[in-house]
């Protein structure tokens, strides 16, 4: 690596700031940022959604280690709902009924970073939302009812699935990758001294059924232990490729802040997923951990390495698919690669070497520009008008720059230390632009004090004009990373489950059919909930029985949810109008256990109650 990258002086400063913690000095509580009165009035008007009016966009924000997805309205920045994904959520009974309990499996937490809306021809189609999780899992939320329908994984050989769940332009695949390289298959021992040779990175394609959205493992590619961090799929001319950044091409261990920052460059890995698909069909994969894994040495053309500035984090493909933007965290520039040049370099074999058989492309041959955006560039999103927006962690700002001319047009400070940013449609083929949300890592008391565990901060920024304008501060629970913003009219949720669509084998719609049936020591209680009775109103079983309540909410009225809380047995579920759910307990404790409706549903809500009576043996 002989080429120097611009901003290497700044680099040392950046590294120091990264290490030291880098927020600007802390403002006093309730202190106002100095601003002209007219600006405040404009910001207020632009974000005010009057009572009864609706927001223009949905924002789906990852909940980080809360394992959830937060749904906001934009421009109001109101938190409308939470979609539980990887974590039980008593509010909607998630993780308590038999189906969602099974879906969560043994995990009671998940670290979810990157939501991805499904796409058709590179544009959001409003069908599904996918989201990754660090324990090698990925989930699909159906936007028809805003519910998690599938959790796939943990996927074999993947270790710390961070570079996920970015999708290809027609949702053929969601992406997956190993961030914490480890020996494969999982469960293999190798001492840390063997890191460089025996630890592996893995990149995977998660196949998505175009009709049902059902996910399954498509293929895996084994790589050197580079710690794959983030990804994005090519589109337009670059369709067929996936790009992943890595931050440890040094193959360092121990204090990575030192060892992983030695080289001037790390890599963006480019994987030809259409070739991966073909190679697996041709049987070129080797069975590792029960799945077929491709070695780039066996499949020429499968993978290339694009050198990118020190410790890159985000990689983002422009709306037209021509440019690939990679940002080195420890640089003052973001690098723009030209996909056409990448292809030419591959054709002309402009390689400077290889890493375990994966050719390294010559940096100067594939680069179009180094844009001097500022310190600590992380992620880039795109507007609909040829502008790009890059988050600057160290500068605690967002830079606006022009694709093609590479001019930096504007910069706006954010509060504080932005990670991801999200523009409406900002990673699609046709971004809407208009709004940008800065998902900040620190809030430093820009809110009423709530003690040391401060909320997460997101800021709404108007990007409709030449200059970016801050509109609003919003706060949430931990911890949004990335978000996707979609025009509200692209999403078409139902408001009840239609009776004719309920094919649950245990559903009943007539209270006369309600009651227990027994087979040996298994008792199934067909149950109806409707204003304002839970039928049956009491059930007697024997100690040691396995009891399944199959509960149908026969309401067909919007918002008439009923709950089923069972005291003493740690069960709490919620049944939406027209829905049937089952909840199973082992009745191992004798006694009388009340069950009751937990959702305030009518004037006679209190009366919705009954008893599970467990007769001692």
Q: What are the residues binding ligand CUK (CB under 6 A)?
A: 113-114, 162, 230, 313, 378-379, 419-420, 481-482
- The whole-angstrom separation of Cα 469 and Cα 471 is 6
> For residues 176 and 566, which CB has a smaller minimum distance to ligand CUA in the complex?
566
> Which member of 297, 353, 405, 600 binds ligand CUA (CB under 6 A)?
600
- Interface with ligand CUA, residue 601, by CB under 6 A: yes
CA angle (431, 437, 439) in 5-degree steps: 130
Do β-strands 483-487 and 469-476 pair in parallel, antiparallel, or remain unpaired?
Answer: unpaired
Closest CA to 461 of 485, 429, 428, 489: 485
Smallest gap from Cβ 29 to ligand CUA, in A, equals 40
> For residues 302 and 608, which CB has a smaller minimum distance to ligand CUA in the complex?
608
> For residues 147 and 379, which CB has a smaller minimum distance to ligand CUK in the complex?
379
Paired residues of 440 in beta bridges: 418, 457
> For residues 116 and 496, which CB has a smaller minimum distance to ligand CUK in the complex?
116
- Interface with ligand CUA, residue 509, by CB under 6 A: no
Smallest gap from Cβ 134 to ligand CUK, in A, equals 9
The one of ligand CUA, ligand CUK, none whose footprint includes residue 263, by CB under 5 to 8 A per kind, is none
> For residues 113 and 137, which CB has a smaller minimum distance to ligand CUK in the complex?
113
Tell me the CA distances in angstroms from 360 to 240, 266, 304, 342, 355, one per residue in order. Answer: 19, 11, 6, 11, 7
Paired residues of 204 in beta bridges: 176, 220
> For residues 486 and 597, which CB has a smaller minimum distance to ligand CUA in the complex?
597
Q: Residue 380 carries which DSSP code? A: E
Smallest gap from Cβ 506 to ligand CUA, in A, equals 20
> Which member of 599, 610, 612, 614 binds ligand CUA (CB under 6 A)?
599
Smallest gap from Cβ 214 to ligand CUA, in A, equals 33
Count helices and strands (H / E) in the chain.
8, 41
The one of ligand CUA, ligand CUK, none whose footprint includes residue 293, by CB under 5 to 8 A per kind, is none
- The whole-angstrom separation of Cα 419 and Cα 424 is 17
- The whole-angstrom separation of Cα 523 and Cα 358 is 59
- Cβ neighbors of 263 (< 8 A, separation 6 or more) are 1, 249, 250, 310
Q: Residue 355: in which H helix or E strand, if any?
A: strand 351-355
> For residues 251 and 605, which CB has a smaller minimum distance to ligand CUA in the complex?
605
- Cβ neighbors of 352 (< 8 A, separation 6 or more) are 307, 360, 361, 362, 363
- Interface with ligand CUA, residue 597, by CB under 6 A: yes
Secondary structure of 487-553 in HEC code, one letter for each residue? EHHHCCCCCCCCHHHCCCCCCCCCHHHCEEEEECCEEEEEEEEECCEEECCEEEEECCCEEEEEEEE
The one of ligand CUA, ligand CUK, none whose footprint includes residue 608, by CB under 5 to 8 A per kind, is ligand CUA
Judge whether 555 and 562 are in contact, CB under 8 Å: yes
> For residues 481 and 562, which CB has a smaller minimum distance to ligand CUK in the complex?
481
Smallest gap from Cβ 601 to ligand CUA, in A, equals 3
Sign of CA dihedral 436, 445, 89, 511: negative
User: Under rule CB under 6 A, how many of the chain's residues touch ligand CUA?
Assistant: 7
Closest CA to 203 of 326, 329, 296: 296
The one of ligand CUK, ligand CUA, none whose footprint includes residue 230, by CB under 5 to 8 A per kind, is ligand CUK
- The whole-angstrom separation of Cα 322 and Cα 326 is 13
Smallest gap from Cβ 562 to ligand CUA, in A, equals 4
> For residues 230 and 575, which CB has a smaller minimum distance to ligand CUK in the complex?
230
> For residues 245 and 599, which CB has a smaller minimum distance to ligand CUA in the complex?
599
- Interface with ligand CUA, residue 575, by CB under 6 A: no
Tell me the CA distances in angstroms from 139 to 113, 114, 171, 214, one per residue in order. Answer: 12, 11, 14, 10
Q: Residue 330 carries which DSSP code? A: T
The one of ligand CUK, ligand CUA, none whose footprint includes residue 329, by CB under 5 to 8 A per kind, is none
Smallest gap from Cβ 599 to ligand CUA, in A, equals 5
> For residues 71 and 601, which CB has a smaller minimum distance to ligand CUA in the complex?
601
- Interface with ligand CUA, residue 581, by CB under 6 A: no
Judged by CB under 6 A, which stretch of 224-232, 332-340, 428-436, 594-602 contacts ligand CUA?
A: 594-602
List the structure tokens of 472.
């609003």
> For residues 147 and 562, which CB has a smaller minimum distance to ligand CUA in the complex?
562
Smallest gap from Cβ 515 to ligand CUA, in A, equals 19
Cβ atoms within 10 Å, residue 317: 30
The one of ligand CUK, ligand CUA, none whose footprint includes residue 419, by CB under 5 to 8 A per kind, is ligand CUK
> For residues 118 and 535, which CB has a smaller minimum distance to ligand CUA in the complex?
535
Secondary structure of 504-521 in HEC code, one letter for each residue? CCCCCCCHHHCEEEEECC
List the structure tokens of 471.
């509109």
Judged by CB under 6 A, which stretch of 36-44, 75-83, 374-382, 599-607 contacts ligand CUA?
A: 599-607
- Interface with ligand CUA, residue 402, by CB under 6 A: no
> For residues 464 and 606, which CB has a smaller minimum distance to ligand CUA in the complex?
606
- Interface with ligand CUA, residue 367, by CB under 6 A: no
Tell me the CA distances in angstroms from 60 to 47, 56, 70, 437, one per residue in order. Answer: 18, 13, 6, 11
The one of ligand CUA, ligand CUK, none whose footprint includes residue 605, by CB under 5 to 8 A per kind, is ligand CUA
Q: In this structure, what are the phi and psi dihedrals at residue 101, rounded to the nearest 5 degrees?
A: -65, -40
The one of ligand CUK, ligand CUA, none whose footprint includes residue 284, by CB under 5 to 8 A per kind, is none
- Interface with ligand CUA, residue 507, by CB under 6 A: no
Per-residue binder mask for ligand CUA (CB under 6 A), 535-574, x = binder: ---------------------------x------------
- Interface with ligand CUA, residue 496, by CB under 6 A: no
The one of ligand CUK, ligand CUA, none whose footprint includes residue 457, by CB under 5 to 8 A per kind, is none
Smallest gap from Cβ 135 to ligand CUA, in A, equals 36
- The whole-angstrom separation of Cα 361 and Cα 298 is 19
> Applying CB under 6 A, which residues contact ligand CUA?
562, 597, 599-601, 605, 608
């Amino acid at each position: 690596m002989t080429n120097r990258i611009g901003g290497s002086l700044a680099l040392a400063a950046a590294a120091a700031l990264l290490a030291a913690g880098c927020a600007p000095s802390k403002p006093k509580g309730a202190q106002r940022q100095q601003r002209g009165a007219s600006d405040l009035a404009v910001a207020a008007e632009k974000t005010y959604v009057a009572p009864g009016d609706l927001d223009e966009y949905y924002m789906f924000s990852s909940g980080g280690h809360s394992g959830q997805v937060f749904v906001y309205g934009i421009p109001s920045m109101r938190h409308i709902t939470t979609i539980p994904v990887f974590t039980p959520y008593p509010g909607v009974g998630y993780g308590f009924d038999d189906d969602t309990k099974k879906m969560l499996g043994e995990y009671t937490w998940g670290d979810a970073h990157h939501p991805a809306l499904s796409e058709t021809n590179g544009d959001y189609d409003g069908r599904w939302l996918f989201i990754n999780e660090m324990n090698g899992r990925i989930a699909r939320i159906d936007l028809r009812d805003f519910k998690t329908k599938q959790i796939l994984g943990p996927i074999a050989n993947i270790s710390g699935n961070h570079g996920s769940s970015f999708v290809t332009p027609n949702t053929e695949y969601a992406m997956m990758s190993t961030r914490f390289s480890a020996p494969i298959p999982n469960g293999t021992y190798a001492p840390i001294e063997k890191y460089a040779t025996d630890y592996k990175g893995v990149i995977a394609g998660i196949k998505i059924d175009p009709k049902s959205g059902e996910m399954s493992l498509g293929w895996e590619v084994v790589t050197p232990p580079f710690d794959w961090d983030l990804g994005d799929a090519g589109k337009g001319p670059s369709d067929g490729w996936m790009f992943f950044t890595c931050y440890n091409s040094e193959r360092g261990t121990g204090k990575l802040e030192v060892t992983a920052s030695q080289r001037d460059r790390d890599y963006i890995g480019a994987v030809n997923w259409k070739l991966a698909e073909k190679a697996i069909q041709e049987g070129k994969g080797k069975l590792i951990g029960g799945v077929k894994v491709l070695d780039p040495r066996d499949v020429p053309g499968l993978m290339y390495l694009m050198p990118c500035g020190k410790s890159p984090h985000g990689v983002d493909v422009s709306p037209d698919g021509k440019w690939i933007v990679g940002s080195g965290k420890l640089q003052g520039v973001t690098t723009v690669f030209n996909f056409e040049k990448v292809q030419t370099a591959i054709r002309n074999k402009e390689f400077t070497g290889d890493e375990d058989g994966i050719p390294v492309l010559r940096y100067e041959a594939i680069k179009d520009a180094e844009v001097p955006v500022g310190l600590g560039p992380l992620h880039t999103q795109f507007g609909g008008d040829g502008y790009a927006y890059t988050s600057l962690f160290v500068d605690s700002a967002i830079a606006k720059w022009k694709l093609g001319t590479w001019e930096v047009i504007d910069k706006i400070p954010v509060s504080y230390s932005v990670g991801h940013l999200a523009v409406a449609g900002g990673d699609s083929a046709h971004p809407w632009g208009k709004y940008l949300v800065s998902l900040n890592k620190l809030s430093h008391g820009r809110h009423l004090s709530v003690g040391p565990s401060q909320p997460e901060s997101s800021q709404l920024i108007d990007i409709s004009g030449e200059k970016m304008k801050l509109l609003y501060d919003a706060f949430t629970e931990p911890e949004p990373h990335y978000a996707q913003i979609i025009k509200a009219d692209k999403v078409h949720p139902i408001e009840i489950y239609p009776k004719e669509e309920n094919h649950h084998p245990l559903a009943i719609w007539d209270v006369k059919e309600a009651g227990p049936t027994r087979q040996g020591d298994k008792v199934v209680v067909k149950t109806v909930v409707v204003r304002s009775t839970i039928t049956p109103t009491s059930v007697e079983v024997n100690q040691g029985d396995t009891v399944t309540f199959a509960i149908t909410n026969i309401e067909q009225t919007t918002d008439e949810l009923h709950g089923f809380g069972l005291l003493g047995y740690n069960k709490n579920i919620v049944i939406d109008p027209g829905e049937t759910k089952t909840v199973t307990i082992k009745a191992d404790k004798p006694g009388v256990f009340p069950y009751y409706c937990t959702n305030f549903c009518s004037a006679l809500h209190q009366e919705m109650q009954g008893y599970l009576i467990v007769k001692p043996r």
